[in-house]
Chains A and B, each alone.
Chain A
């Protein structure tokens, strides 16, 4: 097998968060540009647009501004995905906008991210938005946070200024559940500490942004978590060659499966043993998250989409009364007592919110009780009853089996996201 450049690298998904004008687009443009992921024709078209808008220096932010309405308003309004790679890793960036009204986009981008860059403007320090974003990162359980103080050039590259901001932040996040934080001073516009080290901030001894991204631990534990395999699709060819073939196809949400493992199908609690793990023409002895496979069992059991195959020694919680944090996405508010469609792993049930326990004021981190009006972009702790029991782990233990989405039963829009607490 020939080895090619970029051939065997891991994939890191991260998000960028910041208020409008903190320099997010510029930073992403800089990462793409300095890692040589910008092509000549893109650069050419950016030059033309920059000049038309009256800028002489190429505006790197244009690389990430996709939609016309955004270009007209000069702001980023939706989640956009960007790709770049270095010889060490391949990156998927979810670029999420900063305005208050777009919390839902950040939650969306955060759900699959393994790292978050929080960008702030050194002149303004920590803002309400910064707190809001940090709260969401903690709520969605992004394991790594990079706190980047941008526009250091506008504060004379002052170490004092940097320390004042980072001290304040480290006190603030004690209230949150954030695991790994990296602090660094940058200038996205000039490139200091993004890919290249800064000659102007020799007082900073840590790694550059890119080298942090290249080295932070990945999917640390997803394959060592309890094994969870939501059945997605049943493969039954019923042809002469494969007359009795029956396999449960799906993507392993967490953990590792081996041929010979004793497994239980929930919620029926039927027991069996793994006979084979198929991957097209190939049979594997072992497979782990996030692989897509097809599992065959020794016994003929009755299992279908929405059921879960787990190891008999590590069963999930099975319950139809749950409590969860919800983030609301829709213009119409959450209604207590009405039937929503709930999608959780590959399962679909109905759910009714019975009670709003509290709403979170994410600027003050205070819980507001006695307010049951959950509106767009609100975050609240609610109780829910489902039409069939869910098979789950709490969200802080497992993001894929602890997260669910709420769908309006009439419009079919995705109106909310939920993180199961209990």
Chain B
């Protein structure tokens, strides 16, 4: 703690303040846990915010069924370590019951289907605030989002009607059946997250470090190869040494060729990297306004 950098300390204090605000202002909040590094940092910050009391809200994982195995193992360990309740919303269950239809074709992804499952889980459990690990530096549209993001009855975000946020006063008041998405990491950058992981000595899933994997290249981006991925005729799975920069559903998580074994090595790689983190995520590339459209519809 004493050897933590100044700006990281300030960001940590701000995030803990926001997390405590959620616990104070809402009756039934939940932490959206994807297994990605941002949600892992969120889990640690939540632990710190209430220590020595347990974290006062459950974690919610929207499971696409197309996971990296390591993510699930890591998730279950963390749940035990922090002694929190885990809720799972399964995309597979929604598909099996006929509520959702699977996308087909080469670029099929279950990412979009997650939105429906998330909203259904919020509705079913009557969650009134969902904490997420999104950061404003990730994407242009996120840059405009507030810490406390108001969602209507249908989970929709209205970018033109956001509540002004002044000083550190947050207004989480809402009508019944509306809810909030809250983003305590809003002001962190990718580099800050890595620096925090380093300074706090947080263990991440092995996927974040270099490992050998069967991969294929599509539109200039490396993806993990799994049997359910439909390859184009010019695409061949090959073995490469890679790491993930961010982890989502396997069908749209881009990989970086890397030899980084440690957090320090990752930081030096990122410091010289010229590609943004989301640049490796296929789902954002569909259209120039992809993220905005999905956000309005209730995406994370």
Asked if A and B bind, the verdict is yes
Query: Nearest chain-A residue to B23 (Cβ)?
Result: A233
Would you call B52 and A66 a contact (CB within 8 A)? no
Would you call B10 and A41 a contact (CB within 8 A)? no
One of A66, A90, A104, A399 near B144 (C-beta < 8 A): A66
A residues 99-130 with Cβ under 8 Å of B?
A: 104-105, 107-108, 111-112
The complex places the Cα of A283 from the Cα of B131 at a distance, in Å, of 28
Would you call A291 and B24 a contact (CB within 8 A)? no
- How does the 8 Å CB contact mask read for B1-12 relative to A, with 1 for contact and 0 for none? 101011101111
Residues of A within 8 A of B140 (CB): 63-66, 80
B175: CB under 8 A from chain A?
Answer: yes
B228: CB under 8 A from chain A?
Answer: no
Q: What number of A residues sit within 8 Å (CB to CB) of B? A: 77
Total contacts A-B at CB 8 Å: 187
The complex places the Cα of A107 from the Cα of B292 at a distance, in Å, of 25
Would you call A112 and B171 a contact (CB within 8 A)? no
Whether A346 touches B24, Cβ cut-off 8 Å, given contacts A2-B198, A67-B159, A290-B13, is: yes
Whether A292 touches B13, Cβ cut-off 8 Å, given contacts A2-B198, A42-B276, A68-B292, is: yes
A171: CB under 8 A from chain B?
Answer: no
B85: CB under 8 A from chain A?
Answer: no
Residues of B within 8 A of A67 (CB): 141, 144, 159, 292
Would you call B144 and A414 a contact (CB within 8 A)? no
Shortest C-beta distance, A7 to chain B (Å), equals 5
A residues 261-316 with Cβ under 8 Å of B?
A: 278-282, 290-292, 305
Whether A403 touches B51, Cβ cut-off 8 Å, given contacts A42-B276, A69-B160, is: no
Would you call A305 and B1 a contact (CB within 8 A)? no
Residues of A within 8 A of B11 (CB): 11
Whether A9 touches B7, Cβ cut-off 8 Å, given contacts A41-B275, A407-B173, is: yes
Would you call B1 and A108 a contact (CB within 8 A)? no
Residues of A within 8 A of B159 (CB): 67, 69, 78
Whether A280 touches B51, Cβ cut-off 8 Å, given contacts A4-B267, A251-B13, A417-B166, is: yes
State the A residues within 8 Å of B (CB).
Answer: 1-2, 4-11, 39-42, 45, 49, 63-69, 71, 77-83, 85, 90, 92, 104-105, 107-108, 111-112, 232-233, 235-237, 239, 241-242, 245, 249-251, 278-282, 290-292, 305, 329, 341, 343-346, 399-400, 403-405, 407, 412-414, 417
Q: Which 6 A-B residue pairings sit nearest by Cβ, starting from the closest? A: A41-B279, A412-B173, A66-B140, A292-B13, A111-B166, A8-B5
New contact pairs (5) apart from A39-B276, A242-B52, A400-B168, CB-CB < 8 Å: A82-B143, A85-B189, A249-B20, A249-B50, A280-B47
A-B contact pairs, 23 of them (CB 8 A): A4-B271, A5-B271, A9-B5, A11-B6, A63-B140, A64-B140, A66-B143, A68-B289, A78-B144, A78-B159, A79-B144, A81-B143, A108-B165, A112-B168, A232-B24, A235-B53, A250-B20, A279-B1, A399-B167, A405-B171, A412-B171, A412-B175, A414-B171
